[in-house]
Chain A
Amino acid sequence: MSLLMPKPDEETLARRGEIVAAMRAIVPGEGVIDDVDGLRPYETDALTAYRQLPMVVALPETTAQVAAILAWCHANKVKVVPRGAGTSLSGGALPLADGVLLGMARFNRVLDIDYVDRIAVVQPGVTNLAITRAVEDEGFYYAPDPSSQIACTIGGNVAENSGGVHCLKYGLTTNNVLGVELVTIEGEIIRLGGRGLEPAGLDLLGLIVGSEGLLGVVTEVIVRLLPRPETARALLIGFPSVEGAGKCVADVIAAGIIPAGMEMMDRPAVHAAEAFVQVGYPLDVEALLIVELDGPAAECNHLLGEVEAIARANGAISVRTSRDDSERLAFWAGRKAAFPAAGRLAPDYLCMDGTIPRRRLPDVLARMRELSDHHGLGVINVFHAGDGNLHPLILYDANQPGQLDEAEAFGADILKLCVEVGGVLTGEHGVGVEKRDLMPEMFSKVDLAHQQRVKCAFDPELLLNPGKMFPELHRCAELGRMHVHKGQVPFPDLPRF
């Protein structure tokens, strides 16, 4: 692996026995793992190119245990890496050799469901889909739907601010979470937000969502529930050019329509998916769009017509409308199988996650084909078209010497391209270790220092998930220093608290 993690601290490694004993004193029974076989399942997340056995795994069951673990680690200067289900695609849950891996999987209870205020209070280890399962009999669901939803936890979703194919209309995790209970590295238990629609004071809740396990450990989550839309219908639209498909997406939105989902696949992705699941995707197209509309039947029918007209005006060569739910799900089946389909084209693939202004799509795809030739690796593209979030899947073979490095270099080039055209490094998967060293592409030193000082406000000793998100580990004292220019401090007349 080409990536540098903070060097393990020898002194901490030498104290392993003491640290394991301290964890056992807090979490009884099977909740502490220190044998190599037991640690093995935790050595990586879904960014499998990176592996590291943790020093010890602790699996607490109560907030009090989490608080005691963090307080002990804080007092003893031991690093902690939180983990949900380990489906992060950015290496967010990659362990540290000299750190405690804090697994939150045993926090798996739905604590309260309130249909009047339409909220659910859940523990962080509950899976995303389990929330919907718990409320669907009453006609409700939890809207953000990452493709990993059967496995990933709501705690991980909060940490990564995860999205899904429906987030154009219904928002990311951050727009659907009302409150959390958080344990700070000092072991203090605090509540941010609550059951109401607005948190008091500074919006620290908004800050915690998407903070990638660097600011605190989430021990409870309050999410908003939505009533199931009455109907959902989908269109499957083939285009002879990416430009036509891109223009269609823009025109749909310009017409005032925000579909529940709007996904695009390029030609190689269409072929790969069709070979894998045989759902009848047209193969003679350069780009395939799935547009899903939801709401009352009257609305869906009306909008299906409008979208079809817009598609035809942009040169669509095939348009199919789902007649029933099984056909709608078949349209989605190919898209949802894009990852395993990629897995049949090559032994390994890297899933990238940049966002671009949609108008730059044809450009970006053309440049990506050039990059593909340059790096000698294939790429297939699936794309949350409505919000400009690209997921290029780079195909490679880790057993061929040099291919992983080449794939990573290709990925980095794609993300730099995203930033160059006015977009970002990550739309929903997080920075983690994967995009950490690319952060300076998007942010200056001063920008990053403003973010890192937030980290320092929560965790001045940098014990929580260090080595993620920030390309350099600055000591907080260093960052706090005021710039002194020619002996002049800014605002010399102010008291220096």
Chain B
Amino acid sequence: MLRGGGSKDAIGAPSPDATRIDMRGFTGVVDYDPPELVLTVRAGTPLVDVQALVAGEGQMLAFDPFDHAALLGGTPGQATIGGVIAAGVSGPSRLSRGAARDHLLGFEGVSGRSERFIAGAKVVKNVTGYDLPKLVTGSWGRLVAMTELTLKVLPAPREQRTLVLRGLDPAAAVVALARALGSAAEVSAAAHLPNWNGDALTAIRLDGFPSSIDARAETLVRLLGGLDTLDGPDGAALWEAVRHASPLPSDKPLWRIIVPAKEAATVVRTLGDADWLFDWAGGLIWLASATDSQAIRAAASKVGGHATLIRADAAMRATVPTLHPQAAPLAALETRVRRAFDPNGVFETGRFGGHS
């Protein structure tokens, strides 16, 4: 089993017998030329170091990755960039700027055949050969031990402003956020928290040049009526909370549910007794609930979505698959693709289901 900083050790079925390969020996920056918008870095480099490096040049990892320590109770600062890519970790800005998969341009690694190979490239635009960087992002270390990653970086916005509506029910919140996103206001992030310091809060973030933000905020006011502006630190705290689902209780299993945004309110209504919040304008539901896992997955499937179990005790993780089960033909195809990289199943530790 491949391991970076171990921030996500508590995701997946416990697999105590697996041999751990610690990838943290692969650290350091290989190449970074900010105006090229390309960063090549070894996979075991801590995420915080990568973020500090690009921030120093006024840039960012636009998919808004984060450390799972806050969520799963580890020591912050350990998560590696390789782990973030392998788990496909994307935060609130994913809504407007793309997911981890949209920002991995190339990699070097060792497949389950114990062969070293490269895929993708070190330039921002490339269609030479299959897009294996997409395939390895979010593959949870089941195809390749990535040793080096080439990422697309982008300029960080000069300013961020958070505007909020109060007191909306989930259905009204989703409608308001969809209207904002369908306007020329160029919304960067959109969330709804049913209980933020006692209020139902619907939040919209605008990023960019100050004059542009002023104009776009006016567009939103025309569209949605009175909006409050959170001051800088409060806004930042809000998005930090959304990113880590921190307002939700930590003593219930935590799910990450992807749905078409317009179905979000229906899904939480169906699931009744649960704590939740919406990110991605409703497209991502963080849900803390002791409800039967089958019921949660059925509610997601019913609207064309899927649910990943992010936090649960070891007993539950041993029996409930972490990843949403797939239809049979698709599952068979996935297995064949995994076998293409790992014919002997050296990366199959049981952490994400059967050894099939």
A residues with CB within 8 A of B: 114-119, 139-140, 160-161, 163, 167-168, 171-172, 174-175, 184, 188, 190-192, 194-198, 200-207, 209-211, 227-230, 250-251, 253-258, 295-299, 301-303, 355-359, 384, 387-389, 422-431, 435, 439, 442-444, 446-448, 450-451, 453-458, 469, 480, 482-483, 490-491, 494, 496-497
Contacts and interface: CB of A to CB of B under 8 A. Distances in A.
Interface string B190-232: 0000000000000000001101101110010000000000000
B247 interface: no
Contacts of A192: 330
Given A256-B58, A299-B215, A357-B38, A387 B124 contact: yes
Interface stretch (B48-56, B74-82, B257-265): B257-265
Nearest to B121: A424
A454 B123 contact: no
Given A197-B94, A253-B35, A450 B215 contact: no
Which of A196, A444, A453: most chain B Cβ within 10 A? A196
Interface of B: 33-38, 58, 88, 90, 94-95, 98-99, 101-102, 111, 113-119, 121-132, 134-135, 137-139, 154-158, 174-175, 178, 181-184, 186, 208-209, 211-212, 214-216, 219, 258-262, 280, 283-284, 304-306, 323-324, 326-327, 329-331, 333-334, 336-341, 343-346
Given A357-B123, A457-B337, A204 B135 contact: yes
Given A194-B304, A207-B134, A227-B182, A424 B126 contact: yes
A422 B123 contact: yes
A391 B339 CA distance: 38
Nearest to B158: A256
Contacts of B304: 194-196
B123 A201 contact: no
A442 B251 CA distance: 51
Contacts, number: 278
Contact of A197 (B258, B262, B336): B258
Contacts of B280: 197
16 contacts: A115-B182, A190-B329, A197-B258, A201-B326, A202-B135, A203-B137, A258-B155, A295-B186, A297-B215, A431-B129, A450-B115, A454-B130, A458-B336, A480-B343, A482-B343, A491-B114
Contact of B134 (A139, A160, A184, A203): A203
Q: Which 5 A-B pairs have the closest CB atoms?
A: A206-B134, A299-B212, A256-B155, A453-B340, A200-B306
B128 A298 contact: no
A486 B114 CA distance: 16
Given A175-B98, A457-B339, A303 B123 contact: no
Contacts of B182: 115-116, 118, 139-140, 227
A425 B121 CA distance: 10
Contacts of B36: 250, 357-359, 388
A161 B90 CA distance: 22
Contacts of B34: 254
B334 A204 contact: yes
Contacts of B130: 207, 210-211, 451, 454-455
Contacts of B337: 202, 204, 207, 454, 457
Contacts of B114: 490-491
Contact of A457 (B101, B333, B346): B333
Contact of B128 (A356, A387, A424): A424
Nearest to A302: B211
A81 B194 CA distance: 52
A450 B58 contact: no
Contact of A482 (B113, B211, B338): B113
A431 B58 CA distance: 35
Contacts of B121: 355, 423-424, 442
Contacts of B102: 171, 174-175
A194 B117 contact: no
Nearest to B304: A194
A445 to B, nearest CB: 10
Contact of B284 (A197, A258, A483, A497): A197
Contact of A490 (B38, B113, B126, B211): B113
Contacts of A483: 113
B99 A469 contact: no
Contacts of A206: 101, 131, 134-135, 137
B129 A196 contact: no
Contacts of B123: 355-357, 387-388, 422-424, 427
Nearest to B183: A227
Given A196-B259, A446-B116, A494 B186 contact: no
A308 B214 CA distance: 23
A169 B154 CA distance: 10
Nearest to A251: B35
Contact of B126 (A140, A250, A355, A358): A355
Contact of B129 (A118, A427, A443): A443
Given A202-B135, A211-B130, 20 more contacts: A118-B178, A190-B333, A201-B326, A201-B334, A204-B333, A207-B134, A209-B131, A227-B182, A227-B183, A253-B155, A258-B154, A296-B184, A297-B215, A355-B123, A388-B124, A424-B123, A447-B117, A453-B340, A494-B346, A496-B344
A183 to B, nearest CB: 11
A203 B131 CA distance: 10
Given A194-B304, A298-B211, A422-B123, A442 B155 contact: no
Contacts of B324: 200-201
B211 A299 contact: yes
Nearest to A427: B125
Contact of B118 (A257, A297, A425, A443): A443
A228 B214 CA distance: 19
B187 to A, nearest CB: 10
A451 B259 contact: no
Contacts of A491: 114, 344, 346
A256 B156 contact: yes
Contacts of A450: 111, 115, 117, 119, 132, 340-341
B43 to A, nearest CB: 17
A267 B113 CA distance: 50
A160 to B, nearest CB: 7
Nearest to B140: A202
B125 A163 contact: yes
A202 B135 CA distance: 6
Contacts of B94: 197
B119 A451 contact: yes
Given A196-B304, A200-B306, A388 B258 contact: no
A494 B344 contact: yes
Nearest to A455: B130
A198 B99 contact: yes
A455 B208 CA distance: 42
Contact of A167 (B125, B129, B340): B125
A180 B237 CA distance: 37
A443 B130 CA distance: 12
Contacts of A172: 125, 127
B35 A299 contact: no
Given A114-B262, A258-B155, A490-B114, A295 B212 contact: yes
